[in-house]
C-alpha cells in the first residue's frame, strides 16, 4: 500500500470536514478509520478546531506525520455527507485507495459560488418573517435585507475581510435597510420581527451545537474554541445591528 497516498487522502478528508463545519469527533474518527486501513502498528490522529496532526508509524517504515492548519470555516452539510460516504465505501473495500483519493481531491477542489447566497438569503429571511407571523410586506422587506446582506457578504469575502468585520458590516447593512424601509414606506411594520428574521442566517447555531457536542465527547479545547467563536459572531451581529438602529 502507498502509505503516503493514504495519509494524503486522510488529510484532505479531514481538511474538507473541518472547513465545512463537522464536529471534532467526526473529523478525528473519519481520519483514524482511513489511516487504520494501513494496518500499521501505530496510527495517531489529534484534531483541534484550528488544525490537526496525523501520524503513521511502524518498525517497517519511516514515520510519516502531517500537521495541517485550518484558517477558514463554514457550514456545508452536503459536503460532510459526501466525505462520509466516500470514507465508508473505502473502509468497506468498495473503493480502491487511488479512487478514494481522486474523489476526495475533487471534493477538496470543489467550491460553492458565493453568488448562490444572493438567492438563498432572501428566501431564508423572507421565510423566517412569515414563520414568525409577519405580513407579506414584512417578509418582502426582510427578503430585501437578506439579498443586500448576501451581496455585502460576497463583497467582504472577495476582499478577504476578517469574520468579525464581515458580520458587523452585514448586520449593519440589513439594519439600515430595514430602518429606512420602515421610515419611508407607507404602513405599519414590526421592525423587531424583520430584524430577527434578517439575522437568522448569521446566528451561530451550528457553532453552538458543535461546541456542546465536542465538550460532551471530551474535546474540551475544541468545545471552548467553538463556544468562543459563537460568542464572537453573536457579538459582531449585535454590534452591527445596534449601530444600524442607532443611526436610523
d(CA 51, CA 14): 9
Exposure b/e, 21-31, CB count within 10 A at least 16 = b: bbbbbbbbbbb
Number of domains making up the chain = 2
Per-residue model confidence (pLDDT) at position 49: 82
At which of 90, 109, 128 does a domain end?
Answer: 109
Q: How many CB atoms lie within 10 A of CB 94?
A: 11
Per-residue model confidence (pLDDT) at position 115: 66
| The three grid cell numbers given for residue 132, joined into one nine-digit string | 414568525
Mean pLDDT of the chain: 88
Cα radius of gyration rounded to whole Å, the chain? 22
∠ CA 168-173-176 to the nearest 5 degrees? 125
Name the residue range of residue 63's domain: 3-109
At which of 75, 109, 143 does a domain end?
Answer: 109
Question: Reduced to 3 states, what is the DSSP secondary structure of residue 55?
Answer: strand
Q: Are residues 211 and 123 in the same domain?
A: yes
Instruction: Write down the H helix ranges in the chain.
Output: 3-19, 24-36, 77-91, 97-109, 117-131, 136-158, 163-184, 191-199, 205-216, 220-247
d(CA 190, CA 86): 47
pLDDT in tens, the chain (248 residues): 788 999 999 999 999 999 988 888 889 999 999 999 988 889 999 988 888 999 998 888 888 999 999 887 878 888 999 999 999 999 998 999 999 999 999 988 877 666 677 788 889 999 999 999 988 998 999 999 988 888 888 888 888 788 888 889 999 998 999 989 888 888 888 888 999 999 998 888 888 888 888 888 888 888 888 888 889 989 999 999 999 888 87
Q: Are residues 191 and 204 in the same domain?
A: yes
Q: Are residues 143 and 205 in the same domain?
A: yes
Per-residue model confidence (pLDDT) at position 33: 94
Helix H or strand E encompassing 61: strand 61-69
pLDDT in tens, 150-202: 888 888 888 878 888 888 999 999 899 998 988 888 888 888 899 999 999 88
Q: Are residues 97 and 181 in the same domain?
A: no
| The three grid cell numbers given for residue 191, joined into one nine-digit string | 421592525
Amino acid at each position: 500500500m502507498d502509505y503516503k497516498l493514504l495519509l494524503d487522502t486522510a488529510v484532505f478528508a479531514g481538511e474538507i470536514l473541518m472547513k465545512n463545519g463537522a464536529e471534532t469527533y467526526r473529523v478525528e474518527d473519519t481520519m483514524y478509520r482511513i489511516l487504520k486501513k494501513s494496518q500499521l502498528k501505530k496510527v495517531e490522529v489529534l484534531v483541534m478546531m484550528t488544525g490537526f496532526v496525523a501520524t503513521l508509524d511502524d518498525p517497517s517504515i519511516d514515520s510519516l506525520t502531517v500537521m495541517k492548519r485550518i484558517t477558514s470555516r463554514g457550514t456545508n452539510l452536503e459536503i460532510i455527507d459526501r466525505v462520509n460516504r466516500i470514507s465508508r465505501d473505502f473502509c468497506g473495500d468498495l473503493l480502491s485507495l487511488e479512487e478514494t483519493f481522486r474523489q476526495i481531491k475533487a471534493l477538496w477542489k470543489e467550491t460553492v459560488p458565493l453568488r448562490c447566497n444572493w438567492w438563498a438569503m432572501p428566501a431564508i429571511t423572507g421565510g423566517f418573517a412569515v414563520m414568525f407571523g409577519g405580513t407579506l410586506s414584512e417578509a418582502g422587506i426582510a427578503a430585501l435585507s437578506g439579498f443586500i446582506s448576501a451581496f455585502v457578504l460576497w463583497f467582504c469575502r472577495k476582499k478577504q475581510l476578517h469574520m468579525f468585520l464581515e458580520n458587523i458590516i452585514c448586520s449593519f447593512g440589513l439594519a439600515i435597510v430595514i430602518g429606512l424601509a420602515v421610515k419611508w414606506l407607507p404602513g405599519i411594520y414590526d421592525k423587531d420581527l424583520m430584524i430577527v428574521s434578517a439575522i437568522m442566517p448569521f446566528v451561530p447555531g451550528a457553532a453552538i451545537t458543535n461546541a456542546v457536542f465536542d465538550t460532551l465527547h471530551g474535546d474540551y479545547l475544541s468545545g471552548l474554541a467553538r463556544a468562543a467563536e459563537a460568542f464572537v459572531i453573536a457579538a459582531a451581529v449585535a454590534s452591527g445591528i445596534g449601530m444600524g438602529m442607532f443611526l436610523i
